[in-house]
């Protein structure tokens, strides 16, 4: 039955279909052997596996659309429609991955690190600038400092997970302002003062509380004071009244940092 | 002669139904791209387990992948039998395709269930959310295909499938093969490449 409008109906033969099935099967076996640790090639290949696996999948994908879906023998418009959709899909994927990679990890942390407090009824930008000089503003930095208040500073060491000092000292009852400087290009930190020997427990609970809570459990009774998250290159401060005499700890509760990033806070 | 039914006049000379199917498949690429990209974006970002390496079993899924690939072979045989007007073979191959698809879904149900028992849930962590959403929507596509295959088998059993209605089977085949190629991508990215992912890679190292 040859119709005048009939499309190119050259379909592959049974033998070709079987051959395609065997090729698809063989490629799947090869893919499996590439990653199966007992096949012995997985470790040797290392990261080179990924382009290999992607390449093999592209071959499978191509074979199925060309032969099983007949694009090789069908009108080119069908190929254009499908490849068009596929190309757009590929770009959606690349755009999303690119966007999130540019955010350097966790999008939520990224957003929190850069969040600016919302100023209600700000008349103009100028007015906002003059009335709110510092967003961290816990103290009036311009005010002459009386004898009582104590200003201390501490920083992280480069990109390493450690503080630049091991001990801090203050007198009980004094108002202490600690300025924390984060010189790292990549790491986010915070600075938390806790009861003696509780740094790891506080950090564990902080991990569960998440970055929205600055990696500190809200209302944690073991916490004396803490800064918000201090992103790479940023500086933050915290002001509190030095507690009863004794030895306390300071620590960064960003997940995993508490094991190396801590010290003693001694109150006399 | 049911001429009009099989070859309608169109400006492109191409069947509108077939064109529609290809447009749908092209747009379905975007649907899956969004879900796959979401999975890849959140890869390694889960702060709590279970992580892929704890639960993904590549050997088991390699078998189900193989089953799905073979179902595509059965599907092309169903179309070939339709063009050859072999009534018994049409129904036989359609049912074989549906059966292989059901085996794949069986593997997925088994997998989802064992993952759930090991603590992976839709709301538990980013891995669970993005994994179940992606593979779940793929499974839904397969399930829809199985229903379509069974319905087509019934039509075939009544002797209504043959060269003149081959387009019906061809469209079903296009959908089925598409579901297969989506799985080729998912299997590579989530299992072969992402199946060994461990805990979070924190910005702080």
pLDDT tens digit string along A103-156? 765 666 777 777 776 666 555 555 445 544 444 544 444 444 444 688 888 888
* DSSP letter assigned to residue A111: H
What is the structure's pLDDT at B205?
Answer: 39
Range with the poorest average pLDDT among A96-100, A110-114, A210-214, A260-264: A110-114
Tokens coding A225: 């004071």
- Residues near A229 by Cβ (< 8 Å), separated by ≥ 6? A109, A112, A113, A188, A189, A190, A211, A214, A215, A254
Q: Is the pLDDT of residue A44 over 70?
A: yes
Share of chain A above pLDDT 70, in %: 82
Share of chain A above pLDDT 90, in %: 26
Pick from B19, B163, B177: which is nearest to A1 by CB?
A: B163
What is the structure's pLDDT at A255?
Answer: 87
Pick A10 or B136 by higher pLDDT.
B136
Q: Percent helix, strand and coil across chain A, each rounded to 5?
A: 40, 20, 40
CA A60/CA B183 separation, integer angstroms: 11
Mean pLDDT of A72-82: 92
- Output the average pLDDT for chain B: 91
ipTM over 0.85: yes
Q: Is the pLDDT of residue B78 over 70?
A: yes
- Output the average pLDDT for chain A: 81
Count other C-beta atoms under 10 Å from residue A109's C-beta: 22
Asked if A256 lies within 8 A of B202 by C-beta distance, the reply is: yes
Q: Is the pLDDT of residue A4 over 50?
A: no
Mean pLDDT of B55-84: 94
pLDDT in tens, B120-148: 999 888 899 999 999 999 999 999 999 99
Mean pLDDT of B93-117: 97
Order of all β-strands in the sheet with A223-226: A167-170, A262-267, A246-251, A192-194, A223-226
- Residues near A240 by Cβ (< 8 Å), separated by ≥ 6? A175, A176, A193, A224, A225
CA A231/CA A182 separation, integer angstroms: 7
User: Cα-atom radius of gyration of chain A, to the nearest Å?
Assistant: 31
Asked if B22 lies within 8 A of A81 by C-beta distance, the reply is: yes
How far A21 CA sits from the closest chain B CA (Å)?
A: 6
- Residues near A136 by Cβ (< 8 Å), separated by ≥ 6? A228, A236, A237
Tokens coding A102: 């540019």
Phi and psi at residue B89, in whole multiples of 5°?
Answer: -65, -35
CA B107/CA B114 separation, integer angstroms: 11
Contacts A–B by Cβ distance under 8 A: 166
Q: Is the pLDDT of residue A217 over 60?
A: yes
A240, A193 in Cβ contact below 8 A? yes
Q: Is the pLDDT of residue A101 over 80?
A: no
Tokens coding A171: 């007198």
pLDDT in tens, B148-199: 999 999 999 999 999 999 999 999 999 999 999 999 999 999 999 999 888 7
DSSP letter string, A56-75: HHHHHHHHIIIIIT-TTTS-
Asked if B184 lies within 8 A of A34 by C-beta distance, the reply is: no
**Nearest residue in B to A100, CA atom:** B41
């Amino acid at each position: 039955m040859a119709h005048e409008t009939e499309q190119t109906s050259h379909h592959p033969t049974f033998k070709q279909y079987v051959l395609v099935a065997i090729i698809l099967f063989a490629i799947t076996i090869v893919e499996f052997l590439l990653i199966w640790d007992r096949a012995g090639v997985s470790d040797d290949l290392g990261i080179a596996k990924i382009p290999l696996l992607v390449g093999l999948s592209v071959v499978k994908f191509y074979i199925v659309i060309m032969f099983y879906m007949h694009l090789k023998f069908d009108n080119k418009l069908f190929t254009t429609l499908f490849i068009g959709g596929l190309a757009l899909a590929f770009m959606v994927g690349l755009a999303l991955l690119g966007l999130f990679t540019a955010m350097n990890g966790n999008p939520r942390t990224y957003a929190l690190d850069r969040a600016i407090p919302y100023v209600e009824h700000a008349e103009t930008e100028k007015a906002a600038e003059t009335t709110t000089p510092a967003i961290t503003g816990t103290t009036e930095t311009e005010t002459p400092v009386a004898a009582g208040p104590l200003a201390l500073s501490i920083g992280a060491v480069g990109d390493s997970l450690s503080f630049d000092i091991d001990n801090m000292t203050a007198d009980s009852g004094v108002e202490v302002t600690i300025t924390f400087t984060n010189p790292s290009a990549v790491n986010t930190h915070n600075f938390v003062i806790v009861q003696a020997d509780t740094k790891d427990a506080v950090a564990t609970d902080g991990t569960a509380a998440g970055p929205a809570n600055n990696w500190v459990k809200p209302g944690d009774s073991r916490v004396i004071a803490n800064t918000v998250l201090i992103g790479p290159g940023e500086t933050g401060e915290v002001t509190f009244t030095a507690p009863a005499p004794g030895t306390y700890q300071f620590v960064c509760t960003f997940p995993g940092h508490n094991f190396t990033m801590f010290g003693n806070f001694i109150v006399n | 002669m049911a001429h009009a039914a099989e070859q309608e006049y169109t400006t492109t000379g191409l069947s509108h139904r077939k064109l529609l199917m290809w447009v749908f498949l092209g747009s379905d690429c975007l649907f899956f791209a969004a879900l796959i990209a979401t999975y890849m974006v959140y890869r390694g970002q889960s702060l709590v387990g279970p992580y892929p390496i704890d639960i993904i079993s590549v050997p088991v899924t390699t078998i189900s992948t193989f089953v799905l690939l073979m179902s595509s072979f059965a599907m092309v045989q169903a179309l070939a039998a339709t063009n050859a007007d072999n009534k018994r073979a049409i129904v036989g191959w359609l049912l074989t395709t549906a059966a292989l698809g059901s085996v794949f879904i069986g593997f997925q149900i088994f997998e989802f269930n064992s993952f759930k028992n090991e603590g992976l849930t839709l709301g538990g962590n980013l891995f669970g959310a993005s994994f179940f959403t992606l593979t779940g929507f793929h499974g839904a596509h397969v399930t829809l295909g199985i229903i379509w295959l069974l319905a087509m088998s019934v039509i075939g059993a009544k002797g209504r499938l043959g060269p003149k209605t081959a387009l019906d089977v061809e469209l079903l085949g296009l959908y089925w093969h598409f579901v297969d190629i989506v799985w080729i991508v998912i299997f590579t990215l989530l299992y072969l490449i992402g199946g060994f992912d461990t805990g979070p890679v924190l910005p702080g190292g």
